[in-house]
């Protein structure tokens, strides 16, 4: 399937891009070259190749979910710019001010 100048103009319009006539010609040739290169894959004999869902065969890559202790309130507030007792102090964002 060859890419035509009309195809390049359509793609450019969808992407909201504007190209000069010379650029459109260049892109037409480049896209056709890319498709010709990819077309080589159709020449490969893949009858003995099993279909894959992934290139690398991963088996359960998730770790066990183990509960771990969290931060204490004093550790969480250690680097806070402002704090009151055991809470972060932040500027008021609702109201008249």
Per-residue pLDDT for 56 more than 60?
yes
Instruction: State in Å, rounded, how far the first CA of the chain is from the last one.
Output: 64
* Domain 5-43 indexed as CATH 1.25.40: no
Tens of pLDDT, residues 4-53? 999 999 999 999 999 999 999 999 999 999 999 999 988 989 899 888 87
The pLDDT of residue 51 is 84
Domain ranges in the chain are 5-43
In angstroms, rounded to a whole number, what is the distance separating the alpha carbons of residues 50 and 24? Answer: 40
Tokens of 6: 């009309």
Tens of pLDDT, residues 32-46? 999 999 999 889 898
């Amino acid at each position: 399937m060859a890419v035509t100048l009309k195809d390049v103009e359509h793609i450019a319009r969808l992407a909201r891009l504007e190209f000069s006539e010379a650029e459109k010609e260049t892109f037409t040739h480049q896209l056709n070259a890319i498709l010709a290169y990819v077309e080589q894959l159709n020449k490969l004999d893949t009858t003995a190749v099993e279909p894959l869902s992934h290139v690398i065969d991963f088996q359960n890559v998730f770790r066990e979910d183990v509960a771990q202790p969290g931060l204490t309130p004093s550790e969480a507030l250690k680097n806070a710019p402002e704090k009151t007792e055991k809470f972060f102090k932040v500027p008021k964002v609702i109201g008249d001010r």
